């Protein structure tokens, strides 16, 4: 199994439901900015709306950090709209909801469950150069936490702008980082 870390976002073009409209989102829309691809199994399910609401509640903070969120499931853009119209929780979503009914995008990110026709819970942070910097895949019974994702994005953005520094466990913005060197070996 090869790692997806530092690989480039695959070329894609999909339909999306975004701000009350259908639109096409492609890999070109992602270039030049930070982006999170937030795969989930299916609309009208149980854990999924709790995660999507959590991301919706933190969306303004992600936007302040220059990060766009792209939720992705193998449902069509029509189903995304129907879910939006039927659910107060999903109505909170301001980020694009990408439709992947063929599973092509889910396969490209390595989260497709072929026998079920849906994706695992996958979270991928892409930098402005189009490289995947964070990749996390959960089994579908395990929900994610937007606060922890915010912390990871802050760390990735810090490392991207501070060459030679790294963020230790539980690092939060403004805390001390590390500068790896021979002087640190065996002293942490």
What global pTM score does this model have? 0.95
Q: Mind listing the pLDDT tens digit for each residue in 130-166?
A: 999 999 999 999 999 999 999 999 999 999 999 999 9
146-161 helix and 47-64 helix, angle to the nearest 10 degrees: 30
Confidence of residue 26 (pLDDT cuts 50, 70, 90): very high
pLDDT at 1 over 70: no
pLDDT at 188 over 90: no
Q: What is the DSSP letter of 184?
A: G
Confidence of residue 182 (pLDDT cuts 50, 70, 90): confident
Catalytic residue among 4, 30, 48, 125: 48
pLDDT at position 180 is 86
Q: Are strands 97-99 and 67-73 parallel, antiparallel or unpaired?
A: parallel
Q: Mind listing the pLDDT tens digit for each residue in 77-98?
A: 999 999 999 999 999 999 999 9
Mean pLDDT in the chain? 96
Task: Give 36-105 as a DSSP string.
Answer: EEEE-S-SS-SHHHHHHHHHHHHHHHHHHTTEEEEEEESS-HHHHHHHHHH-HHHHT--S-EEE-TT-HH
Confidence of residue 38 (pLDDT cuts 50, 70, 90): very high
How big is the CA angle at 62 (ends 129 and 157), to the nearest 5 degrees?
45
Q: Are strands 112-113 and 132-138 parallel, antiparallel or unpaired?
A: unpaired
Sort 184 into a burial class: Cβ within 10 Å, 0-12 / 13-18 / 19+.
Answer: exposed
Task: Measure CA of the first residue to CA of the last residue in the chain; give whole Å.
Answer: 31
pLDDT at position 18 is 98
For residue 48, indicate whether it is catalytic.
yes
Q: pLDDT above 90 covers what percent of the chain?
A: 93
């Amino acid at each position: 199994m090869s790692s997806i870390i530092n690989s480039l976002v695959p070329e894609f073009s999909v339909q999306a439901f975004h701000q009350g409209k259908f639109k096409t989102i492609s890999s070109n829309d992602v270039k030049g900015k930070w982006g999170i691809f937030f795969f989930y199994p299916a609309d009208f399910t149980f854990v999924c709306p709790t995660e999507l609401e959590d991301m919706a509640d933190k969306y303004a903070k992600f936007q302040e950090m220059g990060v766009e969120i792209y939720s992705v499931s193998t449902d069509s853009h029509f189903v995304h709209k129907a879910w939006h119209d039927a659910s107060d929780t999903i109505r909170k979503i301001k980020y694009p909801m990408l439709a992947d009914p063929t599973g092509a995008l889910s396969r490209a990110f390595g989260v497709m469950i072929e026998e079920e026709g849906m994706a695992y819970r996958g979270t991928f942070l892409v930098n402005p150069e189009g490289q995947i910097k964070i990749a996390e895949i959960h089994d579908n019974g395990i929900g994610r936490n937007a606060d922890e994702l915010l912390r990871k994005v802050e760390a990735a953005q810090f490392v991207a702008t501070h060459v030679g520094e790294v963020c230790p466990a539980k690092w939060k913005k403004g805390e001390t980082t590390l500068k790896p060197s021979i002087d640190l070996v065996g002293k942490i």
